[in-house]
């Protein structure tokens, strides 16, 4: 066989598995599944948020470059500063800001007014664990400050929103390695998937009898203990949803003229588009893209990993651009806001490993037809005396203000109970 273990590791493992193990059985199973209930219910035509989580701490300073302080930027980043000639111009802001070349795919959307650049985003400076991935990820995902949240089970800001939405025929929150906590509420619990293709249980021999027995086994009431009970509930969910998801996958046609890149992020966003287009009550989706913890060789590095950070941003931007075009082709671009965020930015000054260490303020993006395009927030001043907590970009906008804006303007929810406070409206949505 041509594939090696390492090929599998690099990607396509699930696809390879689908061919060798489950091949041919999906149709048989789909026929056995419960009939879809979709047709029996009114179509919930609702707004959707897709959160793309750049895990590891995205270097905001090399993502959106402040042109008015370019000389100071070069000074802070002697080896990592992006040359002016390579930067991507932001229409209307040619003297102010420019994008990392990896974000090229977002530039046309920005010109069309579909992208909001949200500068200077971060946690309040007195929050604990500011430089710690775990605490900061939890802050951004929960919409609460680590250590100060009310004494309840941890939940996500979108999860608490989902607690209040009327249920559709699919779970309202679906996670593709984004952060399950983001979509977990007091009651809301996300469906975690790696792909909607091939999701299900298909015993390879004695199919009909074994499938029936499995179905009976998982439908039994009462298991002993919470772990066993959760396992049984998850299998019931698999049985209930696998036929539905396969049908959604098989029926979905990407809009004419749109091609998704061959990356995990793009594949997940394609699945998101299919789920949204199915109009089955999915309101929030999360997709994770890791690798932003760029302590070393952030930009140059050995030949085969050249422009590492740029390539990561490229995977995000190209996937999001295809996703937007696809939604637009399906007439759904007005329903969906895509939020790109990260738990923190990087230190202003580069380190001695051609990388950057954990920092504070970073940048977020909102993309979609509901967005009022432009640049928002205050870009942190790079002057030495303006840096805070030992050489870091200052935070000018509390990250919860981004959520508050989305909750109020796009999701039609009252942000205060969800975020435990009033964080205002940044004005980036129509």
Partner 1 sequence: MPGRCGRANAAERGKCRGRASSRAGRTPLALLAALLAVASAAPIPPALATVRATRTEQRVLAGHLLRRLGFGPSRRDMHEALRLGPGAYLEQQLHPESIDDRLGERRFRPPPGPSDDGDVWQLRWLTRMAYSRRQLLEKMTLIWHEHFAVSNGKVGALPLMRDYEQLLRANALGNFRDLLIGMTRDNAMLIYLDNAYNNGQAVDELGNRIPPNENYARELLQLFSLGVHRLNPDGTLVLGGDGRPLPAYTEDDVKAVARALTGWIPHYPSDPDEEDPTEVIAPAEFADWAHDPEAKQILGEAIPADAIGGAFDVERVVAILMRHPNTAPFISKILIQKLATETPTPGYVGRVAAVFTASDGDLRAVVRAIVTDAEFTSPAVLRSQYKTPIEHIVGALRGLDARSGGNTLYYWTMLAGHLVYYPPSVFSFYRPGQKSGLVNAAYVATRDAATDMLAAGYTDDYFDAQWNAADLLRRQRLRARPQVAVELLARDLLAAPLDEATRQVVLDYLGPDVDEAKLRGAAWLILCSPDFQVN
- The answer to whether residue 15 forms part of the interface with partner 1 (CB under 8 A) is no
CA 409 and chain centroid, separation: 20
SS3 416: helix
The least CB distance from residue 56 to partner 1, in Å, is: 7
The least CB distance from residue 145 to partner 1, in Å, is: 10
Strand (E) or helix (H) holding 309:
helix 308-329
- The answer to whether residue 78 forms part of the interface with partner 1 (CB under 8 A) is yes
Q: Which two tokens stand for residue 315?
A: 């995977």
- The answer to whether residue 21 forms part of the interface with partner 1 (CB under 8 A) is yes
| Cα gap 286→222, rounded to integer Å | 31
Among 230, 253, 334, 427, binds partner 1 (CB under 8 A): 230
For 410, which DSSP code? I
| Cα gap 416→414, rounded to integer Å | 6
Among 4, 40, 152, 166, binds partner 1 (CB under 8 A): 4
- The answer to whether residue 157 forms part of the interface with partner 1 (CB under 8 A) is no
- The answer to whether residue 223 forms part of the interface with partner 1 (CB under 8 A) is yes
Among 12, 14, 44, 164, binds partner 1 (CB under 8 A): 14
- The answer to whether residue 13 forms part of the interface with partner 1 (CB under 8 A) is yes
Q: Which is nearer to partner 1, 343 or 371 (CB)?
A: 343
Q: Which is nearer to partner 1, 18 or 374 (CB)?
A: 18
Among 22, 70, 93, 252, binds partner 1 (CB under 8 A): 22
CA-CA distances (angstroms) from residue 281 to 169, 272, 278, 406, 412?
6, 12, 9, 18, 15
Q: Which is nearer to partner 1, 96 or 357 (CB)?
A: 357
The least CB distance from residue 271 to partner 1, in Å, is: 12
| Cα gap 275→249, rounded to integer Å | 8
Among 5, 31, 39, 150, binds partner 1 (CB under 8 A): 5
Binders of partner 1 among 238-267, rule CB under 8 A? Answer: 238, 241-242
Q: Give yes or no for a contact between 375 and 90, defined as CB atoms under 8 angstroms apart.
A: yes
Q: Which is nearer to partner 1, 213 or 386 (CB)?
A: 213
Binding mask 310-339 for partner 1 (x = CB under 8 A): ------------------------------
Q: Which two tokens stand for residue 145?
A: 């400050």
Q: Which two tokens stand for residue 360?
A: 């504070």
Among 23, 108, 147, 412, binds partner 1 (CB under 8 A): 147
- The answer to whether residue 144 forms part of the interface with partner 1 (CB under 8 A) is no
Nearest to 376 by CA among 347, 348, 399: 399
| Cα gap 318→376, rounded to integer Å | 22
For 346, which DSSP code? B
The DSSP code sequence of 133-175 is HHHHHHHHHHTS-TTTS-SS----HHHHHHTTSPP-SS-SEEE
Among 110, 157, 202, 365, binds partner 1 (CB under 8 A): 202
Binders of partner 1 among 40-59, rule CB under 8 A? Answer: 55-56
- The answer to whether residue 9 forms part of the interface with partner 1 (CB under 8 A) is yes
- The answer to whether residue 20 forms part of the interface with partner 1 (CB under 8 A) is yes
- The answer to whether residue 191 forms part of the interface with partner 1 (CB under 8 A) is yes
Binders of partner 1 among 89-118, rule CB under 8 A? Answer: none
- The answer to whether residue 390 forms part of the interface with partner 1 (CB under 8 A) is yes
Secondary-structure breakdown of the chain: helix, strand, coil percentages, each rounded to the nearest 5: 40, 15, 45
Q: Which is nearer to partner 1, 89 or 192 (CB)?
A: 192
Piece of 27-35, 44-52, 201-209, 266-274 that binds partner 1 (CB under 8 A): 201-209
- The answer to whether residue 199 forms part of the interface with partner 1 (CB under 8 A) is yes
| Cα gap 393→60, rounded to integer Å | 9
Q: Give yes or no for a contact between 140 and 390, defined as CB atoms under 8 angstroms apart.
A: no
- The answer to whether residue 12 forms part of the interface with partner 1 (CB under 8 A) is no
- The answer to whether residue 152 forms part of the interface with partner 1 (CB under 8 A) is no
- The answer to whether residue 203 forms part of the interface with partner 1 (CB under 8 A) is yes
SS3 341: strand
| Cα gap 395→388, rounded to integer Å | 9
The least CB distance from residue 106 to partner 1, in Å, is: 26
Size of the site for partner 1 (CB under 8 A): 75
| Cα gap 57→133, rounded to integer Å | 7
SS3 247: helix
Q: Give yes or no for a contact between 325 and 89, defined as CB atoms under 8 angstroms apart.
A: no
């Amino acid at each position: 066989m041509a594939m090696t273990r390492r090929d599998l590791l690099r990607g396509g493992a699930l696809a390879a598995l689908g061919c060798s193990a489950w091949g041919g059985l999906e149709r048989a199973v789909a026929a056995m599944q419960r009939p879809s209930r979709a047709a029996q219910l009114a179509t919930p035509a609702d707004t959707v948020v897709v959160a793309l989580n750049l895990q590891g701490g995205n270097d905001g300073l090399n993502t959106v470059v402040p042109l008015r302080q370019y000389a100071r930027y070069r000074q802070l980043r002697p080896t990592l500063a992006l040359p002016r000639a390579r930067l991507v111009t932001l229409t209307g802001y040619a003297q102010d800001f420019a994008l990392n070349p990896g974000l090229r795919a977002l530039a046309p959307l920005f010109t069309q007014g579909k992208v909001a650049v949200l500068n200077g985003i971060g946690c309040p400076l007195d929050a604990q664990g500011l430089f710690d991935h775990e605490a900061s990820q939890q802050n951004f995902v929960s919409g609460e400050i680590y250590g100060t949240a009310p004494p309840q089970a941890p939940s996500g800001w979108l999860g608490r929103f989902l607690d209040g939405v009327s249920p559709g025929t699919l779970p309202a929150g679906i996670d593709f390695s984004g952060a399950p906590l983001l979509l977990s509420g007091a009651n809301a619990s996300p469906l975690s998937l790696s792909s909607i293709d091939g999701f299900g249980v298909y015993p390879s021999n004695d199919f009909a009898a074994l499938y029936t027995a499995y179905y009976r086994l998982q439908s039994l009431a009462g298991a002993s203990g919470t772990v066993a009970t959760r396992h049984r509930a998850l299998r019931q969910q698999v049985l209930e949803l696998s036929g539905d998801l396969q049908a959604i996958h098989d029926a979905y046609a990407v809009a004419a003229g749109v091609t998704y890149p061959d990356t995990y992020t793009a594949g997940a966003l394609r699945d998101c588009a299919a789920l949204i287009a199915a109009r089955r009550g999915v309101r929030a989706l999360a997709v994770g893209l890791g690798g932003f913890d760029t302590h070393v060789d952030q930009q140059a590095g050995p030949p085969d990993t050249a422009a590492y950070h740029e390539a990561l941003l490229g995977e995000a931007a190209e996937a999001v651009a295809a996703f937007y075009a696809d939604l637009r082709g399906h007439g759904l671009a007005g329903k969906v806001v895509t939020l790109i965020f990260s738990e923190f930015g990087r230190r202003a000054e580069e380190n001695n490993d051609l990388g950057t260490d954990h920092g504070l303020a970073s940048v977020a993006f909102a993309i979609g037809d509901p967005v009022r395009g432009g640049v928002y927030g205050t870009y942190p001043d790079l002057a030495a005396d303006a840096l805070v907590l030992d050489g870091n970009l200052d935070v000018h906008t509390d990250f919860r203000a981004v959520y508050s804006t989305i909750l109020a303007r796009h999701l039609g929810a009252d942000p205060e109970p969800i975020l435990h406070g009033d964080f205002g409206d940044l004005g980036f949505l129509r």
